Structure formats: C-alpha cells, structure tokens
Amino acid sequence: MKDWFTFVYKLCRKGSPPASSSVKDWLAIGSVISLWEGGGDVVEFGVYQGGTSAILSKICALRNRRLFLFDSFQGFPNLQEYSLGDEVLQDRHTALPYRASIERAKQTVEKYGEPDVVTWVPGFFSETLPKQVEPEKICVAYVDVDLPLSQKEAYEWIWPRLIPGGFFFTHEVPTALKHKTYDLTNLQVLSRSMGVIQKKVS
C-alpha cells in the first residue's frame, strides 16, 4: 500500500496540469482507484479544462479501468433553477468564467494524461443522463459541478451504478450540507470542500 501512495503522490506532483483539487484530494482519489481490486469504471462529473481528468486518466490506464467524463462544455445551465434559489451562488457563478470547450479539455488530457481510456459525454446532465447506459458499474465517482441541482442529477445517476464498497467523492461539501443534494448519512469530510461517501456492502 505504501508503494501505491508514493506512486500516486509523485504522479500528481510531476508533469501534471493545474486542477481545482489539491494534491491531498488527488492522493485520496487516486489511491482508492489504485488499490481497488474489484470491477467497475471511474466517472468524473464537472471536467472544466481537464486538469483533474488528465490525472485520473493516468491512474485509470495503469489499473486497466475506463474513465467517463461528463460536462456540458457550454458553461452552466439556468442558474436560477439549478442553484435552488441561492442568490449568492448565482452571483458567484455568473461572475466566474467556468466555461471551457471540449476541445480545450481534450488537449489537456492528450498532453498530460492517457486519452485512450477516456470516454467523453458532452451535454447538460438533464439531456445526457437519461439515455446514458455506460458505465453500468462504477467503482469511483468524482463530482465537482458546483450547482446544487446538477449535484443532485449526478448523484441520482451514479448511486445505483456504484458498486457496493465503491466511493463517491464530492468537491461540494458546503453546498451539499446546505441543500441536502446527497444522502449524507455516511459522509466523511476530508477537507473544507472535499468529502467522500462509501457505499455500504449489504
């Protein structure tokens, strides 16, 4: 286990693009993927410019797992609806340039990651998720989508596909706690914004 932690730490530190998650967050997610012995693939919701995606793709390639990337690549949907009436959240995200094209994200993954393991799923979740079949089994999910209703859409699609014992990482702890966008019964807070829920084995 120590060797995997060392490897993932070096992987995240060397030759990696800027990403919204910290090295500690990458280490937690990457180590889980590296040490997971069961089946299932990895999903990321909220790709932006592809920084975290590139890192995840490297680890997935080494463990022979597929990585599915979900993002509108068109910016945010209707903020008034998707922020559940949170005016502060609306103002913050209206002012921030959180829109990146799929071409930009692909360039990042091609330069820093392993594009061969990646499946791109572009489009707003409300349009893509109802008809998205793969992956049927998920071992690790990472969600960083900011808006509460987007969080809820991602969670409700991921959770039935998450393998018992699998991990749901969220970069939305404050918003999730406020709006109850997930079942937070087993939430473990890892940092100010990062948390993880492990699906129980029945």
Whether residue 72 has pLDDT greater than 60: yes
For residue 115, the SS3 value is helix
Distant-in-sequence contacts of 5-14, Cβ < 8 A, 24+ apart? 5/31, 7/34, 8/34, 8/59, 11/55, 11/58, 11/59, 12/55
CA angle 180/184/186 to nearest 5° reads 180
pLDDT, one tens digit per residue, over 30-68 is: 888 888 889 999 999 999 889 889 989 989 998 999 999
The per-residue pLDDT for 165 is 95
Please give the residue that has the higher pLDDT: either 85 or 148: 148
Q: For residue 31, what pLDDT is reported? A: 83
Evaluate if residue 87 carries a pLDDT over 50: no
Q: What is the per-residue pLDDT for 18?
A: 59
Please give the Cα distance from 109 to 2 (Å, whole number).
Answer: 27
Which pLDDT value is given to residue 146? Answer: 81
- 153-176 tens-digit pLDDT: 999 999 999 999 999 999 888 888
State residue 75's pLDDT score.
Answer: 79
Side chain identity at residue 127, one-letter code: E
Global pTM reads 0.85
Mean pLDDT of the chain: 83
- Burial of 8 (C-beta count, 10 Å sphere; 0-12/13-18/19+): buried
Three-state SS at 28: helix
Domain ranges of the chain: 2-198
Q: What is the pLDDT of residue 47?
A: 93
Is residue 198 exposed (0-12), middle (13-18) or buried (19+ Cβ within 10 Å)? middle
CATH of domain 2-198: 3.40.50.150
